[in-house]
Amino acid sequence: MRLSPKPFALLGWLLFLVSTAQAADPPTAPAYPAAIDCIKELVRMDRCQLLDLYQRAEPGPIPCGYAPGRNIPNPGHRSTAMRSALMRMTAWQGKYFEPDGFMVNRMFGMKTNKAQIYYGESWLDGKPSLILDYQDTSRMWSQYRDELREVSPGIYLGIMYQRDCPEPKIKTFFAIDARTCR
């Protein structure tokens, strides 16, 4: 007695479909573009790496309290880490996020330069970002606007823009660590 090949072919196709079907993934935590453990890692990156990391990140929640920070001047240059450490000791140390929708920089050990906080479009890529805008809150810093995105849980990468004609220019990069907000 000879068996027809059709039932075996059908069985083969069913086994193939079952073996290639993917199960639904369980819900996961938000995806972050990189595993960043501390803001010092961001200080060591070059401009292209920082831009790529920023563009792949999401805005994240608005931090609360004081978040220490590091300026990232001239990313990728051999003097960046040293200049960043010097600026942290002398000029800019981080940001205070107030519950009233404002942020105040910590410079020279004091609260200075207030900015309004809101979610808006990035000047870099048009995607959502956490915006820190000084235009209506600080005469001295009104020509600047910061954008933040969370690149790792509680670690934010920021871009500081200078309002310039015909379009804004990136002035510097910075990072804040909101994991230990006080």
Give percent above pLDDT 90 in the chain: 72
Calculate the average pLDDT of the chain. Answer: 86
Residue 171: the pLDDT is 96
Query: What residues are paired with 128 via a beta bridge?
Result: 121
- For the ranges 26-30, 38-42, 90-94, the lowest mean pLDDT is seen at 26-30
Q: State the pLDDT confidence band at 22, using cuts at 50, 70 and 90.
A: very low
Among the residues of 31-176, which ranges form H helices? 39-43, 47-56, 80-90
Task: Give the separation between CA 156 and CA 153, rounded to whole angstroms.
Answer: 8
Query: How much is the pLDDT for 35?
Result: 81
With cut-offs at 50, 70 and 90, classify the pLDDT of residue 31: low
SS3 157: strand
Q: Residue 39 has which token pair?
A: 């803001």
pLDDT recorded at residue 19: 38
- 165: confidence class by pLDDT, cuts 50, 70, 90: confident
180 pLDDT tier (thresholds 50, 70, 90):
confident
Task: Give the pLDDT confidence score for residue 29 in this predicted structure.
Answer: 52
Q: How far apart are CA 148 and CA 153, in angstroms?
A: 13
Q: Torsions phi, psi of 117, nearest 5?
A: -110, 135
The Cβ-side half-sphere exposure at 131, using a 13 Å CA radius, reads 17
State percent of the chain over pLDDT 70. 81
Query: For 110-123, what is the mean pLDDT?
Result: 96
At residue 63, the pLDDT reads: 95
Question: Band of the pLDDT at 89, cuts 50, 70, 90?
Answer: confident
Among candidate residues 180, 175, 150, 181, the one with its CA nearest the CA of residue 160: 175
User: Range with the lowest mean pLDDT among 13-17, 104-108, 175-179?
Assistant: 13-17
pLDDT in tens, 142-160: 999 999 999 999 999 999 9
Cα 15 to Cα 100: distance, rounded to the nearest angstrom: 60
**Which top CATH class is 39-180?**
mainly beta
Q: How far apart are CA 116 and CA 97, in angstroms?
A: 10
